[in-house]
Amino acid sequence: MAGIKLKNIQKSYLVEDRNVPVLNGIDLDIPHGQFTVILGQSGCGKTTLLRLTGGLEPADSGEILWEGNHKTAFVFQEPRLMPWLTVWDNVVFGLKKSEQNKEKIQSLIGTVGLSGFEKAYPSQLSGGMKQRAAIARALAYEPDFIMMDEPFAALDYFTREQMQKELLRVQKVKHSSILFVTHSIDEALILGDRIVVIERGMVKKIYPVETPAEERNLLDDGFISLKRDIINNLNFIN
């Protein structure tokens, strides 16, 4: 299965009768089976790019070509759980009865650290727990394309690290394609096969990261200089 191609994508919003350009001609290939990270400063158009790529909003002009069929799941910055459903029912929400393999769901809930909370309602969970339930819901759907918009931003350092590892494991096992938005350079370096730096609604630079994710050490000289290069390129506040 091939990936997604974006060709000369333009998008602007009308704000108080003013046309505000957000994406100014994005050309990007998102290959299947890779972990593509979209990195950029707040307000540079990352979420807009993700929403357009996932078909949640139309572009003003340009082309978005999906090569082959993709089963797509989204994880947003906020968990968007159904407040009237338990954790378990939220996780199986997108599945048909015949797709609800109890053992698999139980193991997924364990993976995101929510064992024992299957019957809890979202209002009984912390913000991070809700987000973990949302991630389990996306993974339960067994997507081959996962679109994630700063999904770990609300998590504490340790949970975030654990979730990053779990996501990398899932990606390796399932060969899923992941499009992941973040403004953290470290997170991009930990996760990405390719880091796409966006600035002023355009692709500024694409960094391929060759080292396998499980062998990466951000304190290695190579990663330190890569991080410095990204910072210099963007004048980042991380």
Which residues are near ligand ATP by CB under 6 A? Answer: 13, 15, 22, 40, 42-48, 183
- Dist CA 71 CA 143 (whole Å): 5
- 153-163 as b/e: b if 16+ CB within 10 A: ebbeeebbebb
- CA 43 to each of CA 49, 75, 176, 207: distance values in angstroms, whole numbers, following the listed order: 11, 19, 28, 21
- The residue among 19, 149, 127, 24 whose CA lies nearest residue 74 is 149
C-beta of 57: minimal distance to ligand ATP in Å?
A: 8
C-beta of 185: minimal distance to ligand ATP in Å?
A: 13
Nearer of residues 42 and 232 to ligand ATP, judged by Cβ: 42
Nearer of residues 40 and 143 to ligand ATP, judged by Cβ: 40
Nearer of residues 114 and 197 to ligand ATP, judged by Cβ: 197
SS3 sequence of 71-135: CEEEECCCCCCCCCCCHHHHHCCCCCHHHCCHHHHHHHHHHCCCCCCCCCCHHHCCHHHHHHHHH
C-beta of 96: minimal distance to ligand ATP in Å?
A: 33
Nearer of residues 12 and 159 to ligand ATP, judged by Cβ: 12
C-beta of 156: minimal distance to ligand ATP in Å?
A: 20
C-beta of 53: minimal distance to ligand ATP in Å?
A: 12
Token duo for residue 119: 């019957």
Q: What are the backbone dihedrals phi and psi of residue 220, each rounded to the nearest 5 degrees, phi first?
A: -65, 150
Nearer of residues 40 and 86 to ligand ATP, judged by Cβ: 40
